[in-house]
Each structure stands twice: as C-alpha cells, then as structure tokens.
Amino acid sequence: GENVEQHPSTLSVQEGDSAVIKCTYSDSASNYFPWYKQELGKRPQLIIDIRSNVGEKKDQRIAVTLNKTAKHFSLHITETQPEDSAVYFCAAYTGTASKLTFGTGTRLQVTL
Amino acid sequence: ETGVTQSPTHLIKTRGQQVTLRCSSQSGHNTVSWYQQALGQGPQFIFQYYREEENGRGNFPPRFSGLQFPNYSSELNVNALELDDSALYLCASSPPGGSREKLFFGSGTQLSVL
C-alpha cells in the first residue's frame, strides 16, 4: 500500500521567513496530493492541492511542487505570519483504494 | 452552505462497550469517508461510503463498521471498544462528479476509552 513520509516533524521560523515542508510517497499510482492545515483542536483544512499532471501550483503565499519521477512533493510558505502556526499534513490519494494516506505532520511555529 | 457536522463532539466509554458516531455531509456531497487520528499522528483511513455502499476500507478490524443513509449522512459503529480506540474520529465528505478525492473534514468526535 501507499506510504507517505513527511519532514521535518517540527519547524520554527521567524515571521517573514519562508517555510518548506517535504513529503515522499511510494505508490506511483497516486495521482492527487493535498495539503491540510490543522490548528489545535480544529478540523484539518484543505489549503492547496496538486494533481499528478501538474508540476507546480501557487495560491498567494502558498505553493506546492510535485516531482513525479522522484515521488516527492513540497509545500512552500512565503512571508510567514504568526497565524500560519499549525500542524501541516501532506497526503497522497490512491484511486483504486479510494483513500488518502497522510504523512505524520509538521508542527510549524512562526515566531515574532 | 453547511459544512460537515459530527456528533457528539466528545465521548467517554469503557472498554468492551459499543459506540456510534454520526456525520452529516456537506450540502451536495454524496461521498463520506471516516478517518481515525491518534494523538500526534496523521489521520488513518477507516472506510469510505458512496451510494450507501462501502467503497474502500483501510486496515481496521470488522468491529469497525459503518452506514450511509439516502440523505448521504453516515454513522461509524465500533464494537468491543479497546483502549487503543481512543482517538479523534474525523468524517469527511466529497463532492460528486469525479472529485471524490477532495475531502472536506468535520471537526471530529474525540473518543476516550477507559
């Protein structure tokens, strides 16, 4: 089955700096890669996603890149703000199994 | 537009008991998935329901079962509760038309098994 690894597990950046979170996946059949943000005690919220036929996608301060050959994808957050502090999860979707496989999460702390 | 709602928000049970968790999907969404999130971990897929049928299942034992109703709402039932079942149970719904992978999560039910 699919296996998703996520690094780093914790990340501390100063306000205004950039943050990068990296994930690798194992199943070449996975074709959809979303990123979720989860604040303490709240629901995971979809912040950006990318499909396997696209290499990069950007939405304001957030961007995601996908390298299908290497089976890795990354989340980039620029000009970080304190409200970006949360746990971020990457995931990979395998259509044949109808499921998202999540990484173990990255706790991002943006300090003033 | 109403988002995904789950009930109850918190639940305490003892080992061996049975529990039923409920989920109302987002308006217009016809696919419901259930995930278990242990503390400090990513969500783990339990199963998905589409058109009232189970449409995929993760690595969970048969004592985890579910239902989907004609209005697309869903239930997760867990029998013979074990201590390791303590977790946040998340329901997610997906829109129709080939976007079943796009999950919109509810706030979850926090289950504690004592």
pLDDT tens digits for range A82-94: 999 999 999 999 8
Note the Cα B5 to chain centre separation in Å. Answer: 11
Assign residue A17 a region: left if phi > 0, alpha if psi is -120 to 50, beta otherwise?
Answer: beta
Contacts of B88 in chain A (CB under 8 A): none
Contacts of B104 in chain A (CB under 8 A): 46
In this predicted structure, the answer to whether residue B17 has a pLDDT above a threshold of 70 is yes
Are B108 and B90 contacting, i.e. CB atoms less than 8 angstroms apart? yes
Give the pLDDT of residue B91.
Answer: 97
- Burial class of residue B53, CB neighbours in 10 A (0-12, 13-18, 19+): exposed
Q: Which of A100, A101, A104, A107 to mutate to test the interface with B (most CBs of B within 10 A)?
A: A100
Are A33 and A57 contacting, i.e. CB atoms less than 8 angstroms apart? no
- What pairs with residue A24 in β-bridges? A5, A72
SS (H, E, C) chain B: CCCCEEECCEEEECCCCCEEEEEECCCCCCEEEEEEECCCCCCEEEEEEECCEEEEECCCCCCEEEEECCCCCEEEEECCCCHHHCEEEEEEEECCCCCCCCCEECCCEEEEEC
Q: Return d(Cα A51, Cα A55) in angstroms, integer.
A: 8
In this predicted structure, the answer to whether residue A95 has a pLDDT above a threshold of 90 is no
The pair of three-digit structure tokens given for residue B79, joined into one six-digit string: 């029998």
Are B107 and B8 contacting, i.e. CB atoms less than 8 angstroms apart? no
pLDDT tens digits for range B53-112: 998 899 999 999 999 999 999 999 999 999 999 999 999 999 887 777 889 999 999 999
In this predicted structure, the answer to whether residue A57 has a pLDDT above a threshold of 80 is yes
For chain B, the residue count is: 114
Q: Which of B103, B104, B107, B110 to mutate to test the interface with A (most CBs of A within 10 A)?
A: B103
pLDDT tens digits for range A60-88: 999 999 999 999 999 999 999 999 999 99
- Verify whether the Cβ–Cβ distance B56 to A104 is below 8 Å: no
A to B CB pairs, distance under 8 Å: 57
In this predicted structure, the answer to whether residue A110 has a pLDDT above a threshold of 90 is yes
Residue among B33, B43, B44 whose CB faces A44 most closely: B43
In this predicted structure, the answer to whether residue B1 has a pLDDT above a threshold of 70 is no
pLDDT tens digits for range A32-54: 999 999 998 889 999 999 998 88
Are B76 and B21 contacting, i.e. CB atoms less than 8 angstroms apart? yes
Are B57 and B112 contacting, i.e. CB atoms less than 8 angstroms apart? no
R_g over Cα of chain A:
13
Q: Return d(Cα B65, Cα B77) in angstroms, integer.
A: 5
